Amino acid sequence: MDNELTPRSDEFGLAKADQSKAPITNHESASFGKQLLGFWVTFRTMFKKVNTVQYPEVKEPTAPRFHGRHQLNRHPDGLEKCIGCELCAWACPADAIYVEGADNKEEERFSPGERYGKVYQINYLRCIFCGLCIEACPTRALTMTNEYELADDSRGKLIFEKDDLLGPLRAGMVPPPHPMYPNTDDSNYYKGEVTTSHPSQGIAKND
């Protein structure tokens, strides 16, 4: 009995296939012009003028939809848009976001509705800037800025807390906690019907 192993190709009858039907590549048919065409991208880049930017003294503008550092946004009266739903943390493929929600109180309100983000952290040692967290946010509380300078001298400084991520208070905003705009509910905020703060909410920022 023959103990030799049968080649795998014979099991499927591939060894007996008609080789005459197999495509034949003639390497000699490729002209010199076609070879040059294949190097077109290389040659085009080779002779392009080199543009040296004197960074960091000179900074080139980023693309309009550049994925940079995150920002937690505010409503026009200063209340936070984050409702502590944690959908951004669930959507993050790198497990870089940690959110801890808490209940709003009438005497201590940070956002419209029932809840707000009490703890919000983004670990930029893990973040891959994919933007999936932005798509998951139901209130547009989280967006990405054009800021890309995130280098630091310790790992701990690359874990951004809520205060690091919150957008600045602009003119007309009242720093929370404070009540909602009079005679409104959370739906008025989400529809964009609240455009400024009210004197009953506190002292607004002037500039």
pLDDT tens readout for residues 15-41: 555 555 655 555 555 577 777 788 888
Cβ atoms of 178 and 109 within 8 Å: the answer is yes
Q: For the whole model, what pTM was predicted?
A: 0.75
> What does the domain layout of the chain look like in residue ranges?
70-201
Average confidence (pLDDT) over 124-131: 97
Q: Give, rounded to a whole angstrom, the gap between the first and last alpha carbons of the chain.
A: 96
> What residue ranges in the chain does DSSP mark as E strands?
70-72, 97-103, 115-123, 142-144, 159-160
pLDDT tens readout for residues 34-78: 777 888 888 888 888 888 899 999 999 999 899 999 999 999 999
Cα Rg of the chain (Å, integer) = 30
Contacts of 111 (CB under 8 A, 6+ apart): 75, 79, 80, 81, 82, 83, 84, 104, 117, 176
pLDDT tens readout for residues 136-194: 999 999 999 999 999 999 999 999 999 999 999 999 999 999 999 999 999 999 999 99
CATH ID of 70-201, from 3.30.70.3270, 1.10.10.10, 3.30.70.60, 3.40.640.10: 3.30.70.3270
CA distance 41 to 98: 44
